[in-house]
Amino acid sequence: MDNGDISIVYIAGYGRSGSTLMDIILSDHSSIEGLGELVNVFDYWNSGEVSDFWTRIKERYQSKTLIIGDEGKVLRSVESIFSSAIFFPRLKINILQRYTKIISSLFTAIQEETGKLVFVDSSKTAWTTFWRPYFLSRTGFDLYIVHMVRDGEDVFDSMKKLDNLKAEKNLRNTSMKFPLLRSVLGWNLANLSARINSRLAANSYYLLEYEKLIRSPSFELKNIFVNLDLNCDEILLKILNKKGFSSRHQFSGNRMRKEKNITIKEWIDKPCRKFSFKRWLFFV
């Protein structure tokens, strides 16, 4: 199968902006498979606690490539903000060949396991995935970027509460160090990356404000599914009837993915500022 037969809905932007929620909602469609933060799949395979679904994909993947063991290093080398494939031309050809083999084999394994052709990757665009949408596109996939952005002050408020990684590990101290600095720099960097990649890589780009998704989910989802040429009536009916969604195979992301019944109503009731780029610092 050619990579061009596969479509990737890439959720770009900064963390705590609704990417996990969007991933779960999109994957409720019968033609779409949500994969969570796929960039972390190789670390997940080494974690020792792998689901049956991802174990089968791992077996399929390993049957297609001899590059086993340093995939995470290759991905970080290519996709990070200091990408060796961009800034070190002498390494470009070799590293890109390895990268293309890894990514192509991974998505082929996923396609064979699921039988689907549309996948959601919510790896976002932090400094380690700054160029990920661009290089996914160069590998030959049809790329649709959904740029999720949330008011910077709300992001900061969320980061003040706890460090998600520490919470995942059930550590006693879940506070985050330097939340203001990290949220300001990270927010601007991630959203700048999403804008750059929208120009370089995307077949389609949609800027989705988290606040609008919460207030008008039906309107926003219709706009996204129009670009995918898919009908979303069943999902909209589910939202209208206040029925919940549940995570399928998302192995990383917001801890909400572990809940069995996720409804939009729960998020509507939470306090939420009206979005304004002017309220945050550098990025416009």
- In a domain, residue 284? The reply is no
Helix (H, G, I), strand (E, B) or coil at 209: strand
Tell me phi and psi for residue 269, to 5 degrees: -75, -10
Which pLDDT does position 128 carry in this prediction?
A: 94
Q: Are 36 and 252 in contact (CB under 8 A)?
A: yes
Query: What pTM, to 2 d.p., does this model score?
Result: 0.89
End-to-end alpha-carbon separation of the chain, Å? 40
Which pLDDT does position 251 carry in this prediction?
A: 84
- In a domain, residue 64? The reply is yes
Number of domains in the chain: 1
Residuewise pLDDT in 10s, the chain (284 residues) = 677 789 999 999 998 898 999 999 999 999 999 999 999 999 999 888 899 999 999 999 999 876 667 899 999 999 999 988 887 766 677 888 899 999 999 999 999 999 999 999 999 999 999 999 999 999 999 999 999 999 888 888 877 776 665 555 565 666 677 778 888 899 999 999 999 999 998 789 999 999 889 888 999 999 999 989 999 999 999 988 888 898 888 888 777 777 778 877 555 445 555 555 444 444 44
Range of the domain at 242: 3-279
- In a domain, residue 63? The reply is yes
Q: CA–CA distance from 85 to each of 36, 71, 106, 254, 256 (Å)?
A: 25, 15, 20, 30, 35
- In a domain, residue 185? The reply is yes
Residues 6+ apart with CB under 8 A from 48: none
pLDDT by residue (tens digit) across 89-138? Answer: 666 778 888 999 999 999 999 999 999 999 999 999 999 999 999 999 99
- In a domain, residue 52? The reply is yes
- Other CB atoms within 10 Å distance of the CB of residue 182: 15
The CATH number linked to 150 is 3.40.50.300
- In a domain, residue 93? The reply is yes
